[in-house]
Amino acid sequence: MNSETKDVCEICTNLCSSVLQKTIDNQSVTSDSFYTSTKNSYLFHCSACNYFFTKTQFEMEDFYSDKYSLLHEGFFQDQIVFLPDGAPIERNRYQADYIKNLTCNLDIRSICDIGCGKGLTIKLLSEDLNNLDTFVYDLGQDSYKLVWEKYIPTTRVLPSLNGVKKRFDLVYSFFVAEHVENLDSYINTCINLINEDGAFIACLPDIAQNHGDIFVSDHLRHMSHANLQSYLNNTSLAEFDFKIWTDQSLRALFFAVGKRETLRSLNVESKDNISNLGEVCRDKILSLWPKNNKTQILNSIANKDLILWGSQFYGKLAALTLSLKDVLVVDGNPHFQGTIFSLPNGKKVIVQGPETLYQNNCKNHVILLCMNDTAARALQQKLPEEIKAKAITLF
Ligand SMILES: [Zn+2]
């Protein structure tokens, strides 16, 4: 076996093998929907602790500052997440409310947001809570500086996390832990910033709730509750304890570090304390990578014209892993109809509505359902028989 395809598990030090085949044009393993070049990256699975992790070498050194600088154009542009009752809410609004609710029993005067990005969460928090002393830190500070000066002028910026004298009542960090090279050093740097009775609160994607996360190239770890528990059990946290819980709206694993008393007063909802949302099943996750069962799929689509149903993450993933060169793309979401879908070879296709499928000129077509299995099942139940007969579930 090639030495590149082995790596050490950061939880149990087991030597692990990479688990996904490369695509025909050697795009490897994990990739995001922008076809970020990650030919030297691999997804590994530790069979000893059932843990997926990614080793990525970005070809662009300034990956973070470059990619995320695009966001400046709309400070208030935000992703949408869904509340348990299905109602949509903007992600940063949700995060600010979440922090407020979680820490409602603590006396918080000073807060630091690590990996704040544009700073929208801390802006909303400081509007809601009066007299809060706010600080931010972000690796991409050169590109965010002007945005911060404009939108969060009273928030102070930490230029570096080393040598900070101030201690905070609360340090929080949303979706940073999956990006950092050295998790132990990140956690210890953050807990060095908290007061004796303070708390450090962080979250990362929960693989049990979000299987697709293993394909995101700049997410270096894809943890389950059990993985995080083992990791933190083995990590030295100075005089502090830790606590882990999950959140459904963010599909995230949360952890907090602080004194036992502080952790006890965090307002975690009892439903989020369920430690196991179901065993993370290796085979089920790996079957999401169409390349792994490619022969069967390619046989069934040979010499047929292809239609991708789904223009987002899973559509891009199918195009990448099956090296698709010529397709029609349809999407049931009117927001995506009329937008451009780029193929890995650079070809651009205009996304159409599904009514295209009912036209006579689609006789010799195969429809690849590019969505998660729940969505595919729901869609198939609604399709007329002649369309259903042409549809293949990919994920
Ligand atoms: Zn392991």
Q: What is the pTM of this model?
A: 0.80
**How far, in Å, from the CA of 227 to the mean position of ligand 1?**
8
Question: Tokens representing 140?
Answer: 């991409």
Q: d(Cα 309, Cα 34) in Å, to the nearest integer?
A: 18
**How far, in Å, from the CA of 274 to the mean position of ligand 1?**
23
252, 204 Cβ separation under 8 angstroms: yes
**How far, in Å, from the CA of 346 to the mean position of ligand 1?**
38
200, 144 Cβ separation under 8 angstroms: no
Q: d(Cα 342, Cα 18) in Å, to the nearest integer?
A: 28
**How far, in Å, from the CA of 367 to the mean position of ligand 1?**
39
Amino acid at the residue 203: C
**How far, in Å, from the CA of 16 to the mean position of ligand 1?**
8
Q: d(Cα 327, Cα 341) in Å, to the nearest integer?
A: 10
217, 36 Cβ separation under 8 angstroms: yes
Which neighbouring-strand residues pair with 199?
A: 170, 258
Does the CA dihedral 224-54-344-78 come out positive or negative? Answer: positive
**How far, in Å, from the CA of 238 to the mean position of ligand 1?**
23
Half-sphere exposure for 372 (CA within 13 Å, toward CB): 8
Does the CA dihedral 200-206-207-210 come out positive or negative? Answer: negative
Q: d(Cα 161, Cα 186) in Å, to the nearest integer?
A: 10
Q: How far does Cα 21 stand from its chain's mean position?
A: 22
**How far, in Å, from the CA of 9 to the mean position of ligand 1?**
5
Half-sphere exposure for 96 (CA within 13 Å, toward CB): 17
**Residue 18: per-residue pLDDT:** 86
Q: d(Cα 46, Cα 234) in Å, to the nearest integer?
A: 16
Mean pLDDT, the chain, integer: 85
**Residue 84: per-residue pLDDT:** 84
**How far, in Å, from the CA of 51 to the mean position of ligand 1?**
6
**How far, in Å, from the CA of 231 to the mean position of ligand 1?**
9
Question: Tokens representing 26?
Answer: 């050697």
Terminal-to-terminal C-alpha distance of the chain: 29
Count, residues in the chain:
395
Tell me if residue 211 falls in helix, strand or coil. helix
Residues with CB under 5 A from ligand 1 (ion): 9, 11-12, 14, 46, 48-49, 51
**How far, in Å, from the CA of 230 to the mean position of ligand 1?**
9
**How far, in Å, from the CA of 59 to the mean position of ligand 1?**
28
Q: d(Cα 295, Cα 367) in Å, to the nearest integer?
A: 17
Regions in the chain scoring below 70 on pLDDT: 1-4, 23-39, 58-74, 274-278, 291-292, 294, 360-362
The string of DSSP codes covering 27-87 is: --S---TT----TT-EEEEETTTTEEEEE---SSTTHHHHHHGGGGG-TT---EEE-TTS-
Half-sphere exposure for 80 (CA within 13 Å, toward CB): 5
194-205 vs 168-174, strand pairing mode: parallel
Helix (H) or strand (E) holding 283: helix 282-286
Question: Phi, psi at residue 133, to the nearest 5°?
Answer: -90, 110
392, 301 Cβ separation under 8 angstroms: yes
308, 322 Cβ separation under 8 angstroms: no
233, 284 Cβ separation under 8 angstroms: no
**Residue 1: per-residue pLDDT:** 40
Q: Is 303 left (phi over 0), alpha (psi -120 to 50) or beta?
A: left
**How far, in Å, from the CA of 249 to the mean position of ligand 1?**
28
**How far, in Å, from the CA of 342 to the mean position of ligand 1?**
37
**How far, in Å, from the CA of 350 to the mean position of ligand 1?**
44
The total of other beta-carbon atoms located within 10 Å of residue 333's CB is 12
Q: d(Cα 196, Cα 346) in Å, to the nearest integer?
A: 54
